[in-house]
Amino acid sequence: MSPELLYLLRRRIRAAGPIRFDEFMELVLYSDPHGYYRNNVPGGDSDYQTSPTLSPWFGLLVTQEIQAVWEGLGSPAEFTVVEVGGGNADLAAAVVDAAEGEFGNALKWVYVEPLDSVAAMQRARFGSSEKFSWIGDLDELAPVTGVILANEVLDNFPFRIFEVAKDGVVEIRVGFTRHNLHEVRFPVGPEIAEQLAPALEHLDPGDRLEVRSGIKEWMAKAARGLAEGRLIIVDYGDLEPETWTRHPSGSMVTYRQGELGKDPFEEVGGSDITAHVNFSAVARAATDAGLELLALQTQKGWLESLGLKELVADFRRREAEAQAGGQHPEYLRIMAQRSKIELLAARGGLGDYLVFGAKK
């Protein structure tokens, strides 16, 4: 737990009273230098891994999707992938390595990375390659022809938490008593209660839900930054009303050193805080921003449409050949790779993530 963050939180709460949960998240996840994401990126020794860090084959499969978009747009001479929240750059490394011929020559990569330390790590990986450039916010993006890609980004957007009460709804805010952070139930006005009405029809007293207020603004930026092409968002979440009914206690969880938790106050600055994405809200934001919605699918279905089944079958064939030839180390190496590829589409895990698409 970061004593510096606790001091900042205590000072802010004493000055203004209990703060909203999205304000709390913004501080403990992103503040410089003690916020969680200032010191943790996916992969390596991090608390968590994403699909690109689990296996380079995720990026190699996604390359086919990106190339199909390029071809569908008439194979333009310059085609840009804009990656939001690229972490340790495993996805770009795999895609750029797989892109060949005219497509490879056309491909450019823009990182949207507000954290200087993460951007520096990405720059170190790609050296002086002219294919890559960096911006701090989608607002800085000159409209591109290409793909805007966000893998496991929206789940960490700060969110507010609301709880159904017997006589309406209250907001869960963060207070401070002595040395401890704690929840404070705060009454909400009729305007917010009206906005929450569709969810309240499916929930009972004591149930909770999370609401991200930044999705609409982010989507508007993405739409402005896309002259022509595709928006691809990969994340865990649900559509309405399942996003509420499957998680009546709310979907907020914490992660620390690979372990799941429920108390966001236990390791302030040392734990990730996340919640499932409401993809119905994402779709509304995309439509409002002028984007055309594409079919929503699972990561399993998406990767299978890009050739995952055939890839796994090829790995199994190579395994059998190595085993028959008495090449035990090679057999183990191939089996380990195949196992990670299958995890990308595993039910109950990454395979159940949703892939949201829209075009302009």
pLDDT value for 48: 63
Q: How far is CA 45 from the centre of its chain?
A: 19
Of 310, 312, 306, the C-alpha closest to 339 is 312
First to last CA, the chain: 44
pLDDT value for 43: 54
Q: What is the DSSP string of 125-180?
A: HHTT-TTEEEESSGGGPPPEEEEEEEES-GGGS--EEEEEETTEEEEEEEEEETTE
Of 54, 131, 35, the C-alpha closest to 303 is 54
Beta bridge partners of 149: 83, 232
Of 208, 196, 167, 348, the C-alpha closest to 281 is 196
Contact 213, 331 (CB under 8 A): no
User: Would you tell me the crossing angle of helices 328-343 and 56-72 to the nearest 10 degrees?
Assistant: 60
pLDDT value for 2: 81
Of 360, 337, 295, 340, the C-alpha closest to 54 is 340
* CA–CA distance, 223 with 228 (Å, rounded to integer): 9
Phi, psi dihedral angles at 107 (to 5 degrees): -70, 130
Q: Judging by DSSP bridges, how do beta strands 144-151 and 226-235 pair with one another?
A: parallel
pLDDT value for 330: 96
Q: What residues have CB less than 8 Å from 98, skipping those under 6 apart?
A: 59, 60, 63
pLDDT value for 179: 77
pTM to 2 decimal places = 0.94
Q: Where are the domains of the chain?
A: 3-34+160-211+246-274, 307-343
Mean pLDDT by 10 residues, the chain (360 residues): 86 94 94 84 63 96 98 98 94 96 98 91 89 96 98 96 94 91 94 94 96 95 98 98 96 88 91 96 98 98 98 97 95 96 97 98
Q: Which three-class secondary structure state does DSSP give residue 144?
A: strand
Tell the burial category of 212 from Cβ atoms under 10 Å away from its Cβ (0-12, 13-18, 19+): buried
Tell me which amino acid residue 243 is.
T
* CA–CA distance, 325 with 103 (Å, rounded to integer): 38
Contact 79, 105 (CB under 8 A): no
* CA–CA distance, 236 with 38 (Å, rounded to integer): 23
